[in-house]
Amino acid sequence: MTMRADYIWMNGEVMPWDQATVHVFTHALHYGSSAFEGIRAYDIDGTPHLFRVREHYERLLFSCKVARMASPLDVDGWIDVSKQVLRA
């Protein structure tokens, strides 16, 4: 089964991905400043399950720390957001 990403979390809310926008002067667009971690979700009996989600977010927050980038959430907060997006 293929799962589509119809929703994302942006600026504290879950929204349809095609409605998300960023300002043209966003630092990441001009200078490539970002931290990235890919997280997979697998379908098990019709329910999406995140694969090693805690480890992924620990690496992401470590990358943010090294790059001196603030994260609005801790690991548990990011896990909760991921679950909200999957339920949307």
Domain limits for position 66:
37-88
Within-domain flag for 29:
no
Which residue from 28, 5, 26 is spatially nearest to 17, judged by alpha carbons?
5
CATH number of the domain that residue 73 is part of: 3.30.470.10
Contact 48, 42 (CB under 8 A): yes
| Total structural domains within the chain | 1
Does the model's pTM come out above 0.85? no
Within-domain flag for 20:
no
- For 1-55, write each residue's pLDDT tens digit: 566 678 999 989 999 999 999 999 988 888 989 999 999 989 899 888 999 999 9
Phi, psi torsion values for 26, nearest 5 degrees: -60, 130
- For 73-88, write each residue's pLDDT tens digit: 999 999 999 999 888 8
